[in-house]
A and B are shown apart, each in its own frame.
Chain A
Amino acid sequence: MTSIIPARTAPSRTRPRPTGSAARTVPAPLAPRARLLPSLAAVYRAQLSRARVARIPLLFVATFQSVGIMVLMRGVVDGGAEARAVVAGSSVLVVAFVALNLLAQYFGQLRAGGGLDHYATLPVPPAAVVLGAAAAYASFTVPGTVFTAITGSVLFQLPMTHLWVLVAVIPLSGAALAGLGAALGLLAPRQELATLLGQLGMSAALLLGVLPADRLPEPVGWARDLLPSTYGVEALARSFDASPDWGMIGLFLAVCAVVGVLSLAVATWAYRRAAVR
């Protein structure tokens, strides 16, 4: 270690020492804040690019898990309402795996590893960080969810006419589950706990979403009603009907949207709390 540029030290020694009052009179201008939408777009883009580096294998796992479950359930259910529930549940499970489980793990890891400091020392609105990450994770689920829904429709010979409803189901249940995942990841006091909560949330989405509702005991049915992914599952399941009840589908999706807004607000609050101690 020899090649370092020498710094001149003499001037600072002879300099008089003001006690801070000189600077107090005229505060320096502040650099501009980053505005919400541009910084949200920047976070979203950065998060999407992470998929290329780190997330691809897990996205495959999410899809294969759902396809595997449908293949297994094919021997158990025999068409009709139950088949619709299985296909819809498996499709939304991909969203739960990625948006809830992986996002909870990501924020838990970011918080434990001091990564939140990076964002907290930039003039970026907390909502931009949370929404950008949540939107990116919801986007990661698109290929897997579409693939699962189509595969399921083929396996159980369901009509694919109304599968376009995924255009609403993925972002809305994505918002609800990603908000939940982000809030869990940011609120969990320890990283392992964030991982555990994410896994539990996904397991709940698996069991309560894929198993047909009318076969569940009553208390488990209530838990099912409390889980936000249920409403995405219900909306998708009803779209397989020959003439879907669009009113009910709209209502279920509205529940997803409300849960999404609430959970993302909680996650933003949790981020603010986690970033500055």
Chain B
Amino acid sequence: MSTGTAQAQSDTGTVCAVRDLVKTYPAVRGRRGAPATPEVRATDGISLDVERGEIFGLLGPNGAGKSTLVRQLTGLMRPDSGSVEVLGHDLVRHPERASRLIGYLGQESTALDELTVSLAAETTGRLRGLHVREARAERDAVLEELGLTELAGRPLKKLSGGQRRLACFAATLVGDRPVLVLDEPTTGMDPVARRAVWAAVDRRRAERGATVLLVTHNVIEAETVLDRVAVLERGRVIACDTPSGLKEKVAGEVRVELMWRERAPLDVPEVAALRPSAQESGRRWVLRLSPDEARAAVAAVTGGAAFAALDDFTLATPSLEDVYLALGGDAANASKGLVKA
């Protein structure tokens, strides 16, 4: 599927401009059973430009400020200061206009859970201002497009997590909007559903020049679908570029993964020497090394005594996760927050 044509035709500038966005959550005093939390700057001077027809990603660990940023873009939350402009409309001054410009897929499905897939899509379309007939026609088209027609009569509650997510995504698409803001759209989906989501996004971009802002945890997905990505940490953008552009920043490194049979043979001196630079998770070690070091490490573990304890190993060029770590991201958070495998 070609994704570039629409970009070339309708590349007429910035769709979404964010400037110095700041939002601080006040400190909460501790109560019984609830510990006190200090003041948190959820977005700390964020500036971004998203261009027409782009699939722009926000990547970062839990608590990096992605959802706060998205809530400010969709008019759900007022920033303390800064500006958000979408398609020429000032959304800080007129938050109510966001709903007429943006199709938003949030993380929660509470409002739709007890409806059937079909009624959820139709009702959402009608609340986006469509007439009954238009809403039904668009509902049928979107359900067909996403392969949900067979599930149309089932309540969302009774579906699996991935199917429910897909049904919510369907509701987001009924009632066309030039900008789509999707907060982790493919969570829990199988590969078929994921493919349906990205195909639908691509089609809207190719046919209508839609712009997509995507919050994601999934680095692998980010690498393959995003045009550009902003990496967020503690409310700040620590990098913003294309995935390949970001990866060039750590081009000198190689990622070595070692999988031990039971545990690492620490009695082998070469293995013991690698340990301080390894990120361990159970039997798995991940190392980021220069090419020479990587060669030496592989030679050490594949020859001699260590080989008997080795189950598997891989050498790979760096991923966005490595970029994140190289940029100074918090490794402890990254191992649980950034990548949801």
Contacts and interface: CB of A to CB of B under 8 A. Distances in A.
Contacts of B4: 8, 11
Contacts of A35: 129
A15 B11 contact: yes
A24 interface: yes
Closest 9 CB pairs of A and B: A20-B17, A115-B110, A27-B88, A28-B87, A114-B108, A113-B110, A118-B111, A115-B111, A42-B126
A123 interface: yes
Nearest to B102: A121
A162 interface: no
A215 interface: no
Interface string A23-37: 111111011111100
A128 B110 CA distance: 18
B110 A18 contact: no
B242 A23 contact: no
Interface string A3-17: 111111111110101
B51 interface: yes
B321 interface: no
Given A39-B126, A119-B127, A109 B49 contact: no
Given A8-B3, A119-B111, A23 B87 contact: yes
A34 B104 contact: no
Nearest to B156: A53
A46 to B, nearest CB: 4
B221 interface: yes
Interface of B: 1, 3-4, 7-8, 11-15, 17, 19, 49, 51, 54-55, 74-78, 85, 87-89, 95-102, 104, 106-112, 114-116, 119-120, 122-124, 126-129, 131-132, 155, 157, 175-178, 191, 194-195, 198-199, 202, 218, 220-221, 224-228, 241-245
Interface in A32-58: 32-35, 38-39, 42-43, 45-46, 49-50, 53-54
Contact of B54 (A12, A24, A38): A12
B135 to A, nearest CB: 8
B305 to A, nearest CB: 35
A24 B49 contact: no
Kindly name the residue among B85, B114, B191 whose own CB sees the greatest number of chain A CB atoms within 10 A: B114
